Structures are given as C-alpha cells and as structure tokens.
Amino acid sequence: MRRPVSDFPGGLHLPGHKKRSTQTPIRKTPLSKQLILPLQQHIGEAAMPIVAVGDTVLKGQRIARADGHVSVCLHAPSSGTITAIEERPIPHPSGLSAPCIILETDGEETWIERHPIRDFLQHSAHELRQLIRDAGIVGLGGAGFPSFIKLNPGIHHHVDTLLINGAECEPYITCDAMLMRERAEGVLDGIEIMRHALSARDVLIAIEDNKPEAITAMQLALGSRQSLADADIVVVPTRYPTGGEKQLIQVVTGKEVPSHGLPIDIGVVCHNPATAYAIGRAVIHGEPLISRIVTVTGTDVTHAGNFETLFGTPIKALLEYCQTRRQPDEPFIQGGPMMGYSLAGDELPVTKTANCILVGVDEAAQTSEPLPCIRCGDCASVCPASLLPQQLYWHARAKEFDQTRDYKLFDCIECGCCDYVCPSKIPLVSYFRFAKTEIMNQERERNKADHARERYESRLARQERERLEKEQRQAQRKAALAASKKAAAAKADRQEAPVPPAKKPDIAKEGQ
C-alpha cells in the first residue's frame, strides 16, 4: 500500500523526455589522455594543492586538501603525472577561469592502497564524517554542498527523518534513476552509513511515479536488507519541481520548512541517491569520489545515455563518445532545461556537479525578445514557494533590493516555473539571480567595511590606551623622582643641621 503524500503549491506537469537516455545500461567513458581538475568543485572554499608539477600520482591519491571548514579534498581520478597547475576555464555561466590541476594519464589506472571499512557501526559519527570529508564527497544532485556538514546536525538538533531524494523531477535527467535501477545495493550501503552518522529514526526513499523500474529495483534491494527493514519507499506524483528539497519534504512528511529555515529545523536531513552511493563506496570500499554518472541527452545526441565519467574528462571527449550533431560553436546546457545553464565551450571538464549534458531540446527555446509584463499573474500561480514573481521582478529590475527581501527573494529556488509560463518571455529567474548576487555582494562589502571600521576603531582604542598608560608611567616616574628628591633633601637637611651644645649640669641644684 502506498504511503499517503501531501502537496505543495504551484508546479508544472512537464514532458519528461526520460526514455531517450534510459534505453541502455550505464556505460563507462574511455579514459581521457588529459584530465582537468578544478580546485573549486563544490560550495565553499576551494581545495589547496598538495602536489607539484612533475609529481607522479596514483588513482585515488589525494592531490588537494580541504582548505577551510566548508571544503573537501580532491583526488586523482587516474594514475599519471601532474603537468600543470594553472588557470583554466571552468563550467560556469560567466565563463570564468579558476585554478586547475592538469593530470596526464598513463593508461595504467594504478590504484592507491585502499582501506575499506566493513563494520562501519564500530566507528563514531565523527570518524565517519571525517572519512567522508577526506573522500571529497559533496552533494551530487547538482548543488555540490559538502556532505559531511549535512551529516552533522549539531547538539541542538535531533534527526527524525533521513529523506533520500530520488525524485529527479527535471526533464531529460536520468542519472539518479539509472543508478537506483542498476546499483540499488550500493545506494542502500550509503543510506545505512548516513543513518548511523545521523542517528536518524526513520528512513524514507522518495521516487517519482514515472520511474517504475527504479522503484522496483529499490524495493527488491530493500526487501533483502534486514538492517533497513523499517525503511520505506515513498512513491510521489510526477510534478516539477517535486525534487526541490523543501517541496519534497512537504510532499513526503507534510511538514513545511520555515522561510529562511533549514530542513534540520523540522528534524529532516535530505540527501541524493548518488551521494549515498558515493558514501558507500568511500566507507565500505575505500574509494574516494573520482567519478560520477552523467546523463548525456538531447535531440542532437545520437547515442544518448548515462555514462560513468572520471572528473576532469573534457566534455568534448564525452560528446564525441556519444556522437552529437552539435556544431563547434553551438552552446549546450549543463543540467536540465529548467535549472541548467548554457555553456559555450566543450573544452571544459566534467566536475562533481555535472549531472547532465543536454545538447538540443524539443521545446522551442525562449530566444525571442522579452515583451512588457502584462500582469497576468501566471508566474504566481505556478510558483512552488508561494512567492509573487511579478513583484520580485519589478523590484529587482529597479534595483530596489530591500523590497526584494521583503518579498522573500531568498525563498526562490530558481526552478524556472515562472520563466516557463511567462507569456511575455521575461527571463524572471535571471533577474532574481541578479538581485541575489547584488545583495550578497553588498553584504560582503558591508561586512568588509564593518571589519575595516572595527579594525580602525580598535587601533584608535589601542593608541589611546597606550597613550594613557604612557602618561601614567610618566606620572609615576615623576612622582617617584619627586619623592626621591624630597627624601634626599630631608636627609641632607638632617646632616647639615647644627648640633645643640651639651647642657651643663646645675651644680648648685646637685649640691642641695
């Protein structure tokens, strides 16, 4: 019997386009001669290189350490030689460059010595979190947040529910569905480890009802695993964006994450199936995160499918392997058609957040010039966060950022529903991203200014304190000197004072 589910406001029923990439099993892409490894592949501080040009490395060897609290390590996806550490273009909408480690592979695929942990229950949550951090694991659903942080709820929170987000609601993307279909046992390995680290009471695995093969595979695997006998698979209706973290929590648990709040505030921690699989490989098999499954699909892809790809593999090599009709300068999308972003160059590498490469879409692209807003309100009717996109648009366009905050700009999950239905083809999400970026820049500048002012005021206070201390010391020395002079003068006076003559005895009185 299906578990009852709740609902969330707004949303869209979109064509899935899932079949194109689910007709063949997951395949491994050929080893590339050169791997380009950006040091920044996750949210937080970039990793710090610990290798030099000319070093030989083994597959799985750590080549960059975590630098800062919100950071994870980076590992060599294959054996070979480090040939450069330099700026290279990275997958980003702005086309910016960032430091990368360049690895020339030797074709040997020689692993480091691995240290698998079979009985992870003998290890504390802290030890497992550290291992997961050292293994370089981040959320593989696309956000790239370091996983060890989400596995640390803190002493003030209790985790009621570990929720596995297998909804994968965006059109075209099928990497999570294929992973659950073919490697369900591995996903459950990671779920067990995460449950132990979180001390979670319940485990729920949510999958959209348009993925019957994944649901069956997970049910079969779960049925034979006694240690997860109380876990439950929740089949949720197919509707975009059910896979949004807040929306899925509302559908599965009926609880609503508060505005500006986090799922842990209501006792829920949410992870992606691919993240769970990576954690299982790291702990039970001793393998750091060096690859991921990438969906390559779209109308211009001849052999669409899902491919286990080493990080650093040039996207060009991946597209050539799949055979596309893409022209050299034709842009493509990393991610899905709703939340992904366009990239111009295919020399960019596959990174930890690359869940899908989309070349050509069936829907007519929104390339026409935007028209004036007609205040139809369609954007508000589909917003899953119950926002007023039209008002946000006007304030963001006028750079009235305080007003955008009042209209809960940061509750926007940038799902693109408002863009999709806007009859005027206004790129609303682009305005929201612009406003968020500007607000964050302003806050960063304000923090820098506050910090500089605090340093200046602290310097003035220190100088004043030193001046007063100096004056006090001078006064003390002056007083001591005056006292010394006074004592010396008194002594001199006593030495120079005339001795009074001795008094002669009164003979007359003595004779009486």
Q: Characterise 95 by phi-psi region: left (phi > 0), alpha (psi -120 to 50), beta (else).
A: left
Per-residue pLDDT, averaged over 281-308, amounts to: 96
Instruction: Give the pLDDT of residue 64.
Output: 97
**Residue (of 144, 170, 23) closest to 90 by Cα position:** 144
Per-residue pLDDT, averaged over 31-60, amounts to: 95
**How many CA atoms lie within 13 Å of 374's alpha carbon, on the beta-carbon side?**
9
Q: Confidence band (pLDDT; 50, 70, 90) for 4?
A: confident
The helix or strand, by DSSP H or E, that contains position 247, with its residue range, turns out to be helix 245-253
**What DSSP state is assigned to residue 341?**
E
Q: Confidence band (pLDDT; 50, 70, 90) for 502?
A: low
pTM score, whole prediction: 0.86
Does residue 473 sit in helix, strand or coil? helix
Known binding-site residues equal: 373, 376, 379, 383, 412, 415, 418, 422
Interacting residues of 311 by C-beta distance below 8 A, sequence separation 6+: 35, 37, 41, 77, 289, 290, 291, 292, 349, 350, 351, 352
Q: Which of 7-21, 87-101, 189-203, 241-255 has the lowest mean pLDDT?
A: 87-101
Instruction: Give the pLDDT of residue 364.
Output: 47
Instruction: Give the pLDDT of residue 511.
Output: 47
pLDDT exceeds 90 at position 118: no
Per-residue pLDDT, averaged over 384-405, amounts to: 94
Known binding-site residues for [4Fe-4S] cluster equal: 373, 376, 379, 383, 412, 415, 418, 422
Instruction: Give the pLDDT of residue 331.
Output: 86
Backbone angles phi, psi at 339, to 5 degrees: -115, -5
pLDDT in tens, 224-254: 999 999 999 999 999 999 999 999 999 999 9
For residue 232, list its beta bridge partners. Answer: 204
Positive or negative: CA dihedral 58, 61, 65, 70: positive
Instruction: Give the pLDDT of residue 333.
Output: 93
How far, in whole angstroms, is CA 336 from its chain's centroid? Answer: 19
Give CA–CA dist 382/224, Å, rounded: 41
Does 509 or 297 have the greater pLDDT score?
A: 297
Q: Identity (one letter) of the amino acid at 97?
A: S
For residue 81, list its beta bridge partners. Answer: 56, 104
For 371-467, which CATH class? mainly alpha
147, 136 contact by CB (below 8 A): no
Does 362 or 324 have the greater pLDDT score?
A: 324
215, 177 contact by CB (below 8 A): no
Q: How many CB atoms lie within 10 A of CB 286?
A: 17
Give CA–CA dist 348/346, Å, rounded: 5
**Residue (of 245, 137, 109, 110) closest to 193 by Cα position:** 137
274, 293 contact by CB (below 8 A): yes
pLDDT exceeds 50 at position 144: yes
Does 92 or 166 have the greater pLDDT score?
A: 166
What are the sequence ranges of the domains in the chain?
A: 371-467
Average pLDDT value over all residues in the chain: 92
Give CA–CA dist 499/385, Å, rounded: 105
Token pair of 422 as six digits = 């806007």
CB neighbour burial string for 430-442, b if at least 16 within 10 angstroms, e if fewer: ebbbebbeebeee
Which segments of 2-137 are extended strands (E)? 27-28, 34-38, 48-49, 56-57, 62-65, 74-75, 80-89, 97-105
pLDDT in tens, 296-321: 999 999 999 999 999 999 999 999 99
Backbone angles phi, psi at 166, to 5 degrees: -105, 25
Pairing of strands 97-105, 34-38: antiparallel
Positive or negative: CA dihedral 182, 186, 190, 196: positive
**How many CA atoms lie within 13 Å of 247's alpha carbon, on the beta-carbon side?**
29
Per-residue pLDDT, averaged over 191-220, amounts to: 96
Does 506 or 127 have the greater pLDDT score?
A: 127
pLDDT in tens, 349-367: 999 999 999 998 865 454 5
Q: Characterise 43 by phi-psi region: left (phi > 0), alpha (psi -120 to 50), beta (else).
A: beta
Q: Identity (one letter) of the amino acid at 338?
A: M
pLDDT in tens, 426-475: 999 999 999 998 998 888 888 889 989 999 999 999 999 999 999 999 99
Q: Confidence band (pLDDT; 50, 70, 90) for 54?
A: very high
Token pair of 508 as six digits = 């007359």
Q: How many CB atoms lie within 10 A of CB 196?
A: 18
Q: How many CB atoms lie within 10 A of CB 233?
A: 19
